[in-house]
Chains A and B, each alone.
Chain A
């Protein structure tokens, strides 16, 4: 559950603070007087639920008059329907286009013109097949709109306030909007973020759709690793929406209209599905009132319901390979349960033992000793809400082949399943997970996003404390058990890039 899941990283520190316990790491940390500082951190976190259901997390820290603000919505690729893949991410892009009062000189007039565009789009396959007459009307309307639009007004206003690192991301489960601002822009931030949740305008949509197609080309069509990942998920999952790329299939993207986005927003951008979190300079006495004034304006709406096709059990190894003008690489992906399944934490520890560092068995054998690959790493993903994958990936070193690598990889795994881990390996892995998290805590932004996504996924910003507790309790027997249960060919998918000759 570690990758694609910043949630967990945040939880680690909470555990350190709250559940001072048995692990070596914790003993050392408390020897270092970290326990009191961390407990203090946690005790300062404020949690509120507004009347409309929006949840708010505030955490005051640091000396500088700055804060990281984030708005996280529980929607992503795993919520998408066949034929509309990519809509969550496309909406994320559109959320930077402004509102009824930002980005336009005359909203009333603009609205009429945008409606005209949507009428044309509805009868032209989402503006892909415009007749000559439609094309003329389309261009005419755009010409008028260009007079009204103030391009990039939303982000330029942020820039003027001193915004740093403003961006947003979409994954399988979350859409996250985030920015760092000077404290003086706190109310500005509340106003702008609430405005784009409440009154977004789907302007310049058809241009932005092209931008996303460019993004798709860059990340997936031209990138061997990206292409392989997309194909791998499409084979590892046959029914579950994890099979489709978050960025969407090209044909789906081309078929989406601004009207579709409106419907999408009304369903998912609702108060119970949104968490707002602020980390940095926070005034706990007055900030909540400001937040309530802006985010409290979102109208109450029904809770989001989800019905997702479950993945049938895998009954045999699957393989997928892409031939292209690129050097070989390999991904070996094992099916695994997701948190809160009890096996989740032991699997993360096992992965850390197997390939987490330069003394791990996979690194030692594949990279150092036999020099078959230039690297080896592991990730868990593609999401956290449903059973997911433990993926090992490696860059194959010439003149070796993906088959050579797979053979050597399998030998290491077989040996590991036979002998299990050592007590020292287990201890190093736990410590490394703890340290990784401590380093991660230094950023206001990571903390803000972690709080919010954890709250949305587990209905408690502290929920994943248990996960960390589980990590610290993992035993050598657990490692042996999950290795035997999950590191098996029957439920794995192997993906390779092979050089086209």
Chain B
């Protein structure tokens, strides 16, 4: 179901926005603090309880955390696999399958009967698939656990994909696509990812024809292919006994057939995108700007210094240099964020902001200057230590509830992080110095490769044009191109 627009605006206003990063599953990271910032004893000595773990013969891993505070039970099934491994056409078929597992009925329940039963129980069941991961989830009163778990297993293993609900989903999806142009940031984000990743599974965008082409047989086929226990982790937490959980999992997932093989490596990323400024003229009073280039893979050897770099540059909100310069000192933008978002093969290096049309050029220039300074001068040791302390002291929030703890364990495992990730990471972050951070800026970033997407009122175009012809501008000499957007980006 599309989120109501009003829902968003009725909410109150905050001093700053939460960054919407394009990457998929983000992994929390932790460190111990270097001097002079030390963590409090109470926090440093906190040893979170580890989830109980067992594995079914079919490969399904179970993580269980009991938590008796509230009479609730939650479950999340994480499955490795997604559109990256899906067919080239129709684009979006794997994600459609993910949505319709829940929406199209399951087991002996028609879609309407399923809705009705869950409403009566005041329980929630969800399903979705993204690029790299997918899965199903439930949440219910502890007293209804047995029944809800049964429905949850049907949604996971025996979806019905009823035709009338497929038609309903199609209509809603088409409306969502039709509305892309109503939101500048959506347009900017689609344009940016299309340009950076090109015609690969990383950059393809669902259009109307894809949605119309989806049929029920394909959904069953995708379900057969992707919804398997081989690389799946089921997390259960709440007020429930292990015996009961074990029994129900055995009953409902014990006979779940494995694929028998692991997923092949993810597809390659295409050639680097053509650098330049890409302008999409639409009647918005603010320019939505997305700048960047292809980035690194997860667990590249320099990941600890990349994490410190991110804090320093622009991923940490008010603490970052980008926010400090572009928002606080210049007043150009409500939100400006930048950093390196690693990907399964190659992620992105990004700078995202919105600003009024008149300040589009100076705001871009200021952002680029912040990066240039990091490339040219090593940061002061104190500033590096401040960021290390921020990472170290917030580390405890990865474990502040039983549920979070279990979910974190599952995510690290699915992202194929080494088992000693946390332990070794501590020392690695502590060893990061100013030169290492500078090296990230110089070796991992190259502004001459940047794709710069600007979405906004036509009048911004002439400002950009002038800047590309002005020797003093940081945009000097960059190619400037106008693009059309109508549901997807139309590249001439």
B residues less than 8 Å from A229 (CB atoms): 6, 9-10
Can you list 22 A-B pairs, Cβ within 8 angstroms, ordered by A? A29-B143, A32-B71, A32-B142, A64-B48, A64-B400, A64-B401, A93-B15, A95-B15, A161-B389, A167-B16, A180-B397, A184-B41, A215-B13, A219-B9, A219-B13, A224-B182, A225-B5, A326-B182, A375-B3, A394-B4, A428-B119, A442-B401
- List chain A residues, Cβ under 8 A from B403: 442
Stretch at the interface among A104-112, A131-139, A206-214, A292-300: A206-214
Question: Chain A, 205-244, contact with B by CB distance < 8 Å: what is the 0/1 string?
Answer: 0111111111101111111111011000000000000000
Q: Does A316 contact B (CB under 8 A)?
A: no
Does any Cβ of A come within 8 Å of B209's Cβ? no
Is A66 a contact partner of B172 (Cβ separation < 8 A)? no
Is A151 in contact with B42, judged by CB distance below 8 angstroms? no
Contact B6–A393 (Cβ < 8 Å): yes
How distant is the Cα of A44 from the Cα of B221 in the complex, in angstroms? 54
Q: Which segment, of B51-59, B318-326, B337-345, B471-479, faces chain A?
A: B318-326
User: Which of B194-202, B281-289, B365-373 forms part of the interface with chain A?
Assistant: B281-289
Contact with A along B163-188 (1 / 0, CB 8 A): 00000100110111011011110000
Choose from B11, B283, B286 the contact partner of A325 (Cβ within 8 Å).
B283
A residues less than 8 Å from B43 (CB atoms)? 65-66, 162, 182-184
Cβ B71 vs Cβ A214 within 8 A: no
- B332 beta carbon closer than 8 Å to chain A: yes
Residue numbers of B with Cβ under 8 A of A are: 1-16, 37, 39-43, 46, 48-49, 68-72, 112, 115-116, 119-120, 122-123, 139, 141-143, 168, 171-172, 174-176, 178-179, 181-184, 239, 282-286, 316-319, 323-324, 327-335, 354-356, 386, 389-390, 392-397, 399-403
* Cβ A218 vs Cβ B401 within 8 A: no
Q: A151 contacts which of B171, B324, B400 (Cβ < 8 Å)?
A: B324
Verify B318–A438 contact, CB threshold 8 A.
no
| Residue from the set B3, B181, B331 with the largest chain A CB neighbour count within 10 Å | B331
User: Contact: A159 with B397, CB < 8 Å?
Assistant: no
Residue A19 interfacial (CB < 8 Å):
no
Residues of A within 8 A of B1 (CB): 358, 367, 374-375
In this assembly, does A168 line the interface, its C-beta being within 8 Å of a C-beta of chain B?
Answer: yes
Cβ of A160 and Cβ of B390 under 8 Å apart? yes
Given A184-B40, A246-B12; 15 other pairs, CB 8 A cutoff: A65-B46, A66-B397, A151-B324, A155-B318, A163-B394, A164-B397, A184-B39, A184-B43, A214-B355, A218-B354, A219-B9, A222-B284, A281-B42, A375-B172, A442-B70
Residue of B139, B396, B400 with most chain A CB atoms under a 10 A cut-off: B400
Q: How many interface residues does chain A have, given as a range?
A: 35 or more
Selected from B141, B175, B282, the residue in CB contact (under 8 A) with A32 is B141
Most buried by B among A89, A161, A170: A161
A394 CB to nearest B CB, Å: 8
What residues of A have a CB within 8 angstroms of the CB of B70 in the complex? 34, 37, 438, 441-442
A118 at the interface (CB under 8 A from B): no
Q: Is A204 an interface residue (CB 8 A)?
A: yes
Q: Which residue of A lies closest to B39 (CB)?
A: A184
Please indicate the chain B residues that have their CB under 8 angstroms from the CB of A428 in the complex: 119-120, 122
A162 near B390 (CB under 8 angstroms)? yes
- Select which of A156, A331, A439 is within 8 A of B139 by beta carbon: A439
Q: How far is the CA of A212 from the CA of B15 in the complex (A)?
A: 9
* Structural contact, B122 and A432, CB atoms closer than 8 A: yes
CA distance A374 to B3 in the complex (A): 9
**Shortest distance in angstroms between B336's beta carbon and chain A's nearest beta carbon?**
10
For residue A92, CB closer than 8 A to chain B, the reply is yes
Q: A28-B143, A162-B395, A214-B356 are in contact. Are A223 and B183 (CB under 8 A)?
A: yes
Residue A185, interface by CB 8 Å? yes
Q: Give the Cβ gap from B19 to chain A, nearest Cβ, in Å.
A: 12
A224 to chain B, nearest CB (A): 6
Name the residue of chain B whose CB is nearest to the CB of A37.
Answer: B69
Nearest CB of chain A from residue B337's CB, rounded to whole Å: 14
Q: Which chain B residue lies CB-closest to A160?
A: B389
Interface contact A182-B5, CB-CB below 8 Å = no
Q: Does A182 contact B2, Cβ atoms closer than 8 Å?
A: no
Q: Mark A361-394, 1 if CB is under 8 A from B, else 0.
A: 0000001100100111101011000000001011
A357–B319 Cα gap in the complex (Å)?
A: 41
A214 with B282, Cβ < 8 A, contacts A156-B386, A164-B397 known: no
Inter-subunit contact A359/B115 (CB<8 Å): yes
Given contacts A156-B318, A162-B395, contact A379 B7 (CB under 8 A): yes
- Asked if A62 lies at the interface with its beta carbon under 8 angstroms from chain B, I say yes
Contact yes or no, A221 B10, CB < 8 A? no
List of B residues within 8 angstroms of A96 by Cβ? 15, 318
